[in-house]
Amino acid sequence: MFLALFGTVVIAGIVGYISEKSGFTHNGYLPSIIICVGGAFLFYFVSIMFRIGFGSPGVDAIIASIGALIIVPTHWRN
C-alpha cells in the first residue's frame, strides 16, 4: 500500500509533465504537476476509504491526474 502511494505520486508527476509538454495545458510545468499530484492524492485516499477505483492504482492515478487537470481552473486557461 505504501509503495502504491509513491507510484501514484510518480505517475501523477509524469502525467503533469507530459500534459504540459504536449500542449494539453498551458499552466506551466510546476503548476500542472502540483495539480496532478493533488488530484491523484485525493483520489487515492478516497479510493482507500470507500473501496472504489477503475482498476489498478496506476490506472487510477492516470485518470485522477487527467481529471484534476480538466476540473481545476487556472488563470492562464482560456
Q: Residue 50: its pLDDT value, please?
A: 94
pTM for the structure as a whole: 0.86
Rounded Cα distance, 65 and 40, in Å: 5
**Is 21 exposed, middle or buried, given 0-12, 13-18 or 19+ CB atoms closer than 10 A?**
exposed
Q: Residue 37: its pLDDT value, please?
A: 95
* pLDDT, block means (10 residues), the chain with 78 residues: 90 95 89 93 93 89 92 67
Q: Are the CB atoms for 22 and 29 separated by under 8 Å?
A: no
Q: Residue 47: its pLDDT value, please?
A: 92
Q: Residue 21: its pLDDT value, please?
A: 94
Query: Which amino acid is located at 61 in the chain?
Result: A
Q: Residue 75: its pLDDT value, please?
A: 58
